[in-house]
Amino acid sequence: MQTKSLWVYIETEEGNAKSVGYELLTPGKALANKLGGSLVAVILGENVEKVAKNAIAYGADAAILVEGEEYRNYNSDASSYAVNELIKKYQPEIVLIGATKNGRDLGPRVACKLSTGLTADCTGLDIDSETGNLLSTRPAFGGNLMATIICPDNRPQMSTVRPGTFKKGTFDEGRTGEIIKENIHIDPEKIRVSLLERVKEVTEQINLEEAEIIVSGGRGMKKPENFGMLRELADALGGSVAASRAAVDAGWLPSAYQVGQTGKTVAPKLYIACGISGALQHIVGMSGSDTIVAINTDPNAPIFKIADYRIVGDVMEVVPAMIKAVKEKKN
């Protein structure tokens, strides 16, 4: 740990890593190379040695592991305490945290303890070749503006990064790296928030960020019943259904389905936008998709600017035809 190190915090829940932690190892590796430093995965959890091993397989040079019952589920007090202790000890140059709900709870607390800067919810990362500073790019003003933020004088430089922005690297089981175990436990009296119940609403929404194909509907779907055909198309394609903010605000789908600035960032292989006008706040959440299809009655809808395939037409006619064609092709 003599060289500058870049840390990726890998969030775990009941022994399993959240995908975004592994995703962040991809840009983490590139940034560490530019810095001439090492990439270290930091893992808090219970029985999570396998996560440390996985992190190395995904590209980390080393992993720091803190295990304990209090880390089985995220606890704001325990986790922020531990991460702060680790940072004080090892003095990393950069700390990247997945911008999950818990990551965005943890990040500011740690940054505040360390009196350092934190850039929230980034969608782009780079190193300034002149200064060696981390360049964190993030959308602001509802996605209308992209801002690149630096933290020139304080260390570590911290950023939370939107899940789904980067893709996991190749998993190489042959890679080796040091796993350092640290024993850190907060005084139990200082744990002020208790978790009484965890309810998982296990539906496809969890996989939205990992879905390869997303069929998404907006205001142009006109009524909630019409999402049935999107679901049918998604099922035929083996994908998931999502929605724009307009559709979620109208109460047609729960907010967990929302893609965009205030929803999820997705980067599937194929994104089919149905009746979505393409407000910037939506585009921010899906422009990283490999292929974008847009179907809209308004030829001037901004969504068409970023679409690879455009149909100016009525979703109610186009989608049923697509369902039929897909089913025929697949048989």
User: What is the footprint of other proteins within residues 79-108 (CB under 8 A)?
Assistant: 80, 100-102, 104-105, 107-108
Would you say 10 and 42 are in contact if contact means Cβ atoms under 8 Å apart?
A: yes
- Least spacing, CB of residue 252 vs other proteins, in Å: 15
178 versus 313: smaller Cβ distance to other proteins: 313
Q: Which residues contact 228 (CB under 8 A, 6 or more apart)?
A: none
- Least spacing, CB of residue 121 vs other proteins, in Å: 6
Q: Which residues contact 10 (CB under 8 A, 6 or more apart)?
A: 17, 18, 21, 22, 24, 41, 42, 43, 51, 55, 98
CA distance 124 to 49: 29
Q: Which one among 144, 171, 176, 298 touches other proteins, defined by CB under 8 A?
A: 144
324 binding other proteins? (CB under 8 A): yes
CA distance 92 to 259: 33
Q: Which helix (H) or strand (E) holds 35?
A: helix 19-35
59 versus 107: smaller Cβ distance to other proteins: 107
Residue numbers 162-221 binding other proteins by CB under 8 A: 192-202, 206
Q: Which stretch binds other proteins (CB under 8 A): 26-34, 43-51, 142-150, 166-174?
A: 142-150
What 3-state DSSP class applies to 103?
helix
Residue numbers 27-56 binding other proteins by CB under 8 A: none
- Least spacing, CB of residue 96 vs other proteins, in Å: 15
154 binding other proteins? (CB under 8 A): yes
